[in-house]
Structure 1
């Protein structure tokens, strides 16, 4: 719900505010570019104004809710509100609150959340909240008996006063938070087609890192349906980043998987992951990526015990980022539903069918190397060389 006359979106960011002025300016520029791209991709009219601390989207009342929802999808945004813009004079603000109450307040409890950034104004935030609340009360008391509830109101009238304008709104649409995409270096994202890896990729994007998606074709242990699922999740992720290249590197891995199944029982899954990571390392050097992101979580699978994670991580010089490391599965599923990758991911990951009957949960590197194919790393290098870049 938005106020009548609202034609602007007020955007709030969080971690960006903790940076030095130079870094903050760079990140706000990244955010503005990303917002512009998202609006264009969704055919929503709007012009982004790069303001210190509070970027704005200028649109029209017909599209203000769509523009607000779009802004709330942008990484780095903590919340967004459809606002009506008025003068900073207290009388103008109270008059606007009177109109807002007459149009939108029809019962239940209310509160006024007033914030004043410009400390030179001749009133405090408390003054504004008190007098604004009185204006709202007076506007509706002939229709019904209003009720003030400062702790859990049914309707909150928000007022944010900046140096040159005051913004009035009725709701804050939560955003993903984090940092604007592009504020950090890119990483290789291993996308398996399961539930976890797209969520992990999203979380790295939320912290500002563009992803280079990589899908390893597992041959008979994967299949076209499995690949399609992975591609669909990347396509969904790309909607959050229309101004970034999200083509997928598909890597041939079927022959290596067959070899591991034929020659290894103990530690097979760990060697497969080591193959993945070394392949990703070769691709990272090609695209100037600075790390690898996976959907692993401590103890979720036998290959993801702390001991096994330590063994697999030693195969690469790149950092392996595991943003879901301490997440419960239920939380990962909830996030997948929230970002709309769950439906595409509900197929058993191919690597699950590679798993041996007896799982290794406490591996040591030296014994593993005795059973692992001697040419595993050469296979990884060749697989990276034969990878193909495809549209998701």
Structure 2
């Protein structure tokens, strides 16, 4: 579509950020930064209540798919920016309507929003005249104000007018980075990657820690964890760090020296202490788990209490009240399900007790731990063997120790 001063752009809308009052500019700035980093947008302008991606020499189809990974966006439109020239507004609206008509749509509605008060026409009159112009020039098309097959949207802002014919839904939420940093206990199961996704959606800058049990867990288990981390890293605007702890020495010691029914709770408490140590190092303010109330023996209220007591940081459980089907559906949607069901075990499966306790007494658990004289030292030993993998937007960068 040509014409004087006509520019194709991507119009970005958000919802929750608009409620942030005095902090709104902070959220908008973070969202703009994330769009530039993740979607590789050339330039982003701020218009009140909207962000505008200037395509410059890029094709919108190179940017649109990547916007699905930018939390904080409610929906977007490929739009045309035009001056405050009503004849141009009518012509661009007609061209968009003609495209939709040629693709089979037969009914439409024009919706106008006007924040530029100096524009000489009201919103209702603009919609009515543009609608009449389309009806006059496209035989066979008709208006349906209640259930149209498509809408022509016109937004008249202070600097420019935007015209578009559809809205593409995105992931919503808050921009990653506005809510601080959290450390995800990432297992190879279905739940924890989904928990990480939900915390990213709430604006948390997520990194992950995983506990594996070589040689009981293989290199395929490592690959599985890295594939899950890779999926999550696509939503992060900055470096996503994934740490893997070789946990076997701790587990073996607990297995050989503690009551079997409590061994899983003791292992989880040990994981909490090690995760806290890493979290302090990276300045994370909370741990994140995929725990779901009542799903397995370790996730009863008493056992969750016994496990969380070992953490000095808050433990966030975004899936605590979800049905399993809801979790599976989300895992399929975000692309982690097929990885999670690969038959490569994690550390908890490798050392699972035959009859795990469904109820635990914190005093009893602490008494057992006091008898495990080598536990603290072994936790320090496995922590020193931790390996770090870094990702940038889905690409594995490197592996290092510590």
Name the CA distance, whole Å, in 1 between partners of 2:60 and 2:249. Answer: 53
Q: Aligned equivalents of 2:324 and 2:114: distance in 1?
A: 42
**Number of paired residues?**
382
- Counterpart of 1:85 in structure 2 is 81
Would you say the 8 A contact 2:7–2:82 is kept in 1? no
* C-alpha separation in 2, matches of 1:36 and 1:101: 31
More displaced stretch, 101-110 vs 284-293:
101-110
**1:62 offset after TM fit, Å?**
6.5
Q: How far off is 1:261 after superposition?
A: 3.0
Partner residue of 1:338? 333
Cα distance in 2 for partners of 1:54, 1:300 equals 42
Asked whether the 8 Å contact 1:27–1:180 carries over to 2, the reply is: yes
Q: Corresponding residue for 2:106? A: 108
For residues 164 and 154 of structure 1, what CA distance do their matches in structure 2 show? 30
Q: Which residue does 1:38 correspond to in 2? A: 38
Q: Which moved more, 1:209-218 or 1:65-74?
A: 65-74
1:3–1:344 CA distance, 2 compared to 1 (3 A): farther
Q: Report the alpha carbon displacement of residue 221 of structure 1 after superposing the two structures with TM.
A: 4.0
SS at match of 1:57: strand
Determine the C-alpha separation between the residues in 1 that align with 2:269 and 2:130.
Answer: 62
More strand by share: 2
Aligned position for 1:73: 69
State the Cα deviation string for residues 82-120 of structure 1 (Å, max 9, x = none): 111123344432332112112322433322333223345
Q: 2:94 aligns with which of 94, 98, 106?
A: 98
- Contact persistence 1:184–1:209 (CA under 8 A): yes
Alignment partners' CA distance in 2, 1:17 and 1:195: 33
Q: Which residue of 2 aligns with 1:126?
A: 124
What secondary structure does 1:176 align onto? Answer: strand
Q: Say which is worse superposed, 76-85 or 246-255, in terms of deviation.
A: 246-255
**Shift in CA distance, 330/125, structure 1 to aligned 2, threshold 3 Å:** farther
Change (3 A) 1:159 1:362: farther
Report the equivalent of 2:218: 223
In 2, the alpha carbon distance for the partners of 1:364 and 1:297 equals 20
The answer as to 2:362 corresponding to 1:365 is: yes
Deviation at 1:375, TM superposition (A): 4.2
SS of residue paired to 2:11: strand
Residue in 1 aligned with 2:400?
Answer: none
SS at match of 2:171: coil
Gaps of 5+ in 2: 391-395, 397-402
The aligned counterpart of 2:208 is 213
Q: TM-score, normalised by structure 1?
A: 0.88
Q: Which runs of 5+ in 1 are unaligned?
A: none
- Cα deviation digits, residues 293-335 of structure 1 (max 9, x gap): 1111122222112222122111111011111122222222222
Structure 2 CA distance for partners of 1:152 and 1:78, relative to 1, 3 Å: same
Q: What's 1:49 paired with?
A: 45
Q: Is the 8 A contact 1:9 1:64 kept in 2?
A: yes
Question: Over residues 245-293 of structure 1, what are the superposed CA-to-partner deviations in whole Å (9 max), with x where a residue is unaligned?
Answer: 2232221201112233334321222222111111110001111111111
Aligned position for 2:25: 25
Contact 2:112–2:153 (8 Å) recurs in 1: yes
Tell me the residue number matched to 1:251: 245
Tell me how large the CA RMSD over aligned residues is.
2.5
Are the equivalent residues in 2 in contact too, given 1:46–1:57 (CA < 8 A)?
Answer: yes
Q: Please report how far the alpha carbon of residue 179 of structure 1 lies from its aligned counterpart in structure 2 after TM superposition.
A: 1.5
User: TM-score, normalised on structure 2?
Assistant: 0.86
Q: Partners in 1 of 2:196 and 2:14 — Cα distance?
A: 21
Partners in 2 of 1:274 and 1:358 — Cα distance?
18
